[in-house]
């Protein structure tokens, strides 16, 4: 039940604002993350009595919870109140790797090779029970921590069941749910067994308000509710759209620190100069090595560009950063290996002593990403499907000379940036190669004009405002 000193604003997400590393000497080292929620919560200020509830993701996180108890040390969290839930490691892995990332992520991003997948058998049902337990642990922690009438914003596909569970425990709360992914269309969503599909939708409908990154995903959610639950299923829940934007102030300031300048120098050396002495053009991509990001087809399109337009050989470099993600899953490890294999293949087939056509880096380095953003002539953002894609919004803001954006029509960002981007069907390699050529040859004046408009659209809803809008909407 609510304590009189409970929190007034609560955020619930799988990944919290801090993660721990356990060192050999037994000490714990905290690492703080960034992102929209971190800026959002800092925007409401220290007097708002806010609490972030997240899961322990690793053994080191679990150790931090055991040592620190109910609240993480505020030194580690930068002053943010954080309750990390120590969920049994097997239950967590079933819920996170098994259901959230291998089923729900695949459904919403339409990633299955359907002749053989998904296999929704007894093992799936066993993991589903863990997903329910994981959601219940969040609902119980939130119910325990929230003050009477508090606002709770529950994040993403990991926590689709939590809103309804929380509503049952605490009918007094104002509950929002926000999806950071796309939402699958009904025909694809109904790959899921009917009872599971209904439980997921009903879970989110336990909230007063369900938020999405674009109208397209909001409409898909409504269509799924109608198809699975019936015509009026959504009537008790308000649907909202909040297109998270880039944090221009932070990015511009961060992108001009000395560590970024150093990496620009190093990258320029790797890129080299064309035989005529001019700087080589750059096609930049920065992603997690994520199946939905379509990195391999991006490489194939670049190879096609070199075939279709040999005049670009020696004059352009594809700078591709593909940072490790979800490496517990074999399919992600295989995908990472495939990205490396195709990049190497292109370099062996087309490279010359003075020119490496693909500069691939797989070690996460935020300063180097910003350096690449600054150098970009073209940004390649070609996901199969993506909730928003903030890289598409960040590169135009940071690039020194303005950049052309090659953008998939399946990215959420397409809704706001499509008009000023060169847009592609992410499966069409010939079309993407053509778009890369178009982007590389965009006249300077037009590139500058488009960058200006892209930047305005990309920064229309900065993270702090994105978060505040959701809170205010919950009050209405
Ligand atoms: O909604 C997608 C998301 O949860 C993002 O918030 C985040 O960028 C990404 O997936 C990372 O996923 P994970 O926490 O599994 O590394």
Q: How far apart are CA 116 and CA 131, in angstroms?
A: 23
Q: How far apart are CA 348 and CA 367, in angstroms?
A: 28
DSSP 401: S
Q: Does 303 sit in the ligand 1 pocket, CB within 6 Å?
A: no
Q: Does 97 sit in the ligand 1 pocket, CB within 6 Å?
A: no
- Report the separation in Å between the CA atom of 5 and the middle of ligand 1, taken as the mean of its atom positions: 32
Cα-based torsion angle of the residue sequence 387, 373, 381, 319 in order, rounded to the nearest 10 degrees: -140
Tell me if residue 197 falls in helix, strand or coil. helix
- Report the separation in Å between the CA atom of 175 and the middle of ligand 1, taken as the mean of its atom positions: 21
Q: Is the dihedral of CA 10, 15, 17, 23 positive or negative?
A: positive
The edge-to-edge listing of strands for the beta sheet with 358-361 is 358-361, 316-323, 281-288, 378-381, 404-408, 422-424
**Which atom of ligand 1 is found nearest the CA of 96?**
15
pLDDT (0 to 100) of residue 222: 98
- Report the separation in Å between the CA atom of 197 and the middle of ligand 1, taken as the mean of its atom positions: 22
Q: What is the 3-state secondary structure (H, E, C) of 283-312?
A: EEEEEECCHHHCHHHHHHHHHHHHHHCHHH
Candidates 13, 14, 15: which one to mutate for ligand 1, based on the most atoms within 8 Å of Cβ? Answer: 15
**Which atom of ligand 1 is found nearest the CA of 325?**
16
Angle separating helix axes 429-440 and 295-308, nearest 10 degrees: 70
Q: Does 325 sit in the ligand 1 pocket, CB within 6 Å?
A: yes
**Which atom of ligand 1 is found nearest the CA of 100?**
15
The owner of tokens 């890369």 is 436
pLDDT (0 to 100) of residue 42: 83
Residue 437: its H or E element:
helix 429-440
pLDDT (0 to 100) of residue 4: 59
**Which atom of ligand 1 is found nearest the CA of 57?**
14
**Which atom of ligand 1 is found nearest the CA of 15?**
14
pLDDT (0 to 100) of residue 401: 96
Q: How far apart are CA 308 and CA 304, in angstroms?
A: 6
Q: Smallest Cα–Cα separation from 185: which of 144, 221, 231?
A: 221
Q: Per residue in 176-207, pLDDT tens?
A: 999 999 999 999 999 999 999 999 999 999 99
Q: Does 181 sit in the ligand 1 pocket, CB within 6 Å?
A: yes
- Closest residue to atom 5 of ligand 1, CA basis: 180
- Closest residue to atom 15 of ligand 1, CA basis: 326
- Report the separation in Å between the CA atom of 308 and the middle of ligand 1, taken as the mean of its atom positions: 36
- Closest residue to atom 11 of ligand 1, CA basis: 325
- Report the separation in Å between the CA atom of 329 and the middle of ligand 1, taken as the mean of its atom positions: 14
pLDDT (0 to 100) of residue 3: 53
- Report the separation in Å between the CA atom of 352 and the middle of ligand 1, taken as the mean of its atom positions: 38
Q: Does 326 sit in the ligand 1 pocket, CB within 6 Å?
A: yes
Residue 290 Rama label (left phi>0; alpha psi -120 to 50; beta)? beta
Q: How far apart are CA 218 and CA 180, in angstroms?
A: 11
Q: Per residue in 36-61, pLDDT tens?
A: 888 888 888 778 899 999 999 999 99
- Report the separation in Å between the CA atom of 341 and the middle of ligand 1, taken as the mean of its atom positions: 25
CB-side neighbour CA atoms (13 Å) of 239: 17
Q: How far apart are CA 33 and CA 466, in angstroms?
A: 18
* Residue 324 token pair: 């490790």
DSSP per position, 342-377: HHHHHHHHH-BTTB-SEEEE-S--HHHHHHHHHH-S
Q: How far apart are CA 15 and CA 2, in angstroms?
A: 24
- Closest residue to atom 3 of ligand 1, CA basis: 180
pLDDT (0 to 100) of residue 78: 87
**Which atom of ligand 1 is found nearest the CA of 180?**
1
- Report the separation in Å between the CA atom of 470 and the middle of ligand 1, taken as the mean of its atom positions: 19
Q: Does 410 sit in the ligand 1 pocket, CB within 6 Å?
A: no
Q: How far apart are CA 357 and CA 320, in angstroms?
A: 11
Q: Does 156 sit in the ligand 1 pocket, CB within 6 Å?
A: yes
- Report the separation in Å between the CA atom of 322 and the middle of ligand 1, taken as the mean of its atom positions: 15
Q: Could you read off the pLDDT tens digit of each residue along the chain, which spans 476 residues?
A: 555 579 999 999 999 999 999 999 999 999 998 888 888 888 887 788 999 999 999 999 999 999 988 899 888 998 899 999 999 999 999 999 999 999 999 999 999 999 999 999 999 999 999 999 999 999 999 999 999 999 999 999 999 999 999 999 999 999 999 999 999 999 999 999 999 999 999 999 999 999 999 999 999 999 999 999 999 999 999 999 999 999 999 999 999 999 999 999 999 999 999 999 999 999 999 999 999 999 999 999 999 999 999 999 999 999 999 999 999 999 999 999 999 999 999 999 999 999 999 999 999 999 999 999 999 999 999 999 999 999 999 999 999 999 999 999 999 999 999 999 999 999 999 999 999 999 999 999 999 999 999 999 999 999 999 999 999 999 87
Q: Does 6 sit in the ligand 1 pocket, CB within 6 Å?
A: no
pLDDT (0 to 100) of residue 37: 87
**Which atom of ligand 1 is found nearest the CA of 14?**
14
**Which atom of ligand 1 is found nearest the CA of 156?**
1
Domains and CATH numbers, the chain: 7-244+465-475 (3.40.50.2000), 248-458 (3.40.50.2000)
Candidates 18, 92, 180, 323: which one to mutate for ligand 1, based on the most atoms within 8 Å of Cβ? Answer: 180
Q: Does 387 sit in the ligand 1 pocket, CB within 6 Å?
A: yes
- Closest residue to atom 1 of ligand 1, CA basis: 180
Q: Does 15 sit in the ligand 1 pocket, CB within 6 Å?
A: yes
Q: How far apart are CA 70 and CA 49, in angstroms?
A: 16
- Report the separation in Å between the CA atom of 151 and the middle of ligand 1, taken as the mean of its atom positions: 23
Q: How far apart are CA 94 and CA 404, in angstroms?
A: 42
Residues 6+ apart with CB under 8 A from 231: none
Residues 6+ apart with CB under 8 A from 366: none
- Per residue in 286-322, is it b (16+ CB within 10 Å) or e — as a string? bbbbbbbbbbbbbbbbbbbbbeebeebbbbbbbbbbb
pTM value is 0.97
């Amino acid at each position: 039940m609510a304590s009189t000193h409970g929190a007034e604003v609560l955020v619930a997400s799988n990944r919290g604002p801090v993660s721990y590393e356990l060192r050999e000497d037994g000490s714990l080292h905290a690492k703080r993350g960034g992102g929209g929620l971190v800026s959002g919560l800092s925007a409401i200020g220290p007097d708002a009595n806010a609490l972030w509830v997240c899961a322990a993701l690793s053994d080191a996180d679990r150790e931090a919870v055991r040592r620190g108890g109910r609240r993480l040390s505020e030194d580690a969290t930068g002053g943010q109140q954080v309750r990390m839930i120590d969920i049994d490691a097997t239950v967590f892995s079933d819920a996170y790797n098994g259901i959230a990332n291998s089923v729900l992520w695949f459904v919403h991003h339409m990633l299955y090779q359907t002749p053989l997948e998904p296999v929704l058998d007894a093992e799936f049902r066993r993991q589903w029970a863990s997903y329910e337990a994981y959601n219940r642990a969040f609902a119980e922690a939130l119910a325990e921590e929230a003050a009477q009438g508090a606002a709770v914003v529950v994040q993403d596909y990991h926590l689709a069941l939590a809103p309804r569970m929380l509503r049952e425990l605490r009918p007094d709360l104002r509950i929002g749910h926000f999806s950071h992914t796309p939402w699958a269309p009904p025909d694809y969503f109904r790959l899921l067994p009917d009872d599971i599909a209904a439980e997921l939708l009903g879970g989110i409908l336990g909230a007063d308000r369900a938020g999405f990154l674009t109208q397209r995903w909001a409409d898909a959610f409504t269509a799924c509710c109608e198809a699975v639950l019936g015509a009026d299923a959504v009537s008790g829940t308000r649907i909202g759209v909040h297109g998270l934007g880039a944090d221009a102030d932070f990015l511009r300031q961060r992108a001009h620190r000395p560590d970024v300048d150093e990496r620009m120098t190093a990258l320029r050396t790797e890129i080299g100069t064309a035989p005529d002495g001019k700087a080589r053009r750059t096609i930049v991509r920065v992603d997690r090595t994520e199946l939905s990001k379509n990195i391999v087809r991006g490489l194939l399109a670049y190879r096609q560009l070199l075939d279709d337009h040999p005049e670009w050989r020696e004059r352009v470099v594809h700078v591709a950063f593909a940072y490790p993600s979800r490496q517990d899953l074999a399919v992600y490890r295989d995908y990472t290996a495939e990205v490396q294999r195709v990049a190497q293949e292109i370099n062996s087939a087309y490279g010359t002593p003075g020119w490496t056509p693909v500069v691939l880096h797989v070690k996460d380095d935020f300063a180097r990403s910003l350096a690449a953003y600054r150098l970009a002539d073209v940004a390649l953002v070609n996901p199969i499907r993506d909730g928003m894609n903030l890289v598409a919004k960040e590169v135009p803001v940071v690039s020194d000379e303005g950049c052309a954006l090659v953008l998939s029509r399946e990215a959420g960002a397409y809704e706001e940036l499509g008009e000023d981007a060169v847009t592609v069907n992410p499966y069409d390699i010939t079309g993407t190669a053509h778009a890369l050529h178009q982007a590389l040859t965009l006249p300077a004046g037009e590139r500058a004009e488009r960058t200006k408009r892209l930047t305005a659209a990309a920064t229309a809803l900065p993270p702090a405002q994105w978060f505040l809008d959701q809170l205010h909407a919950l009050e209405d």
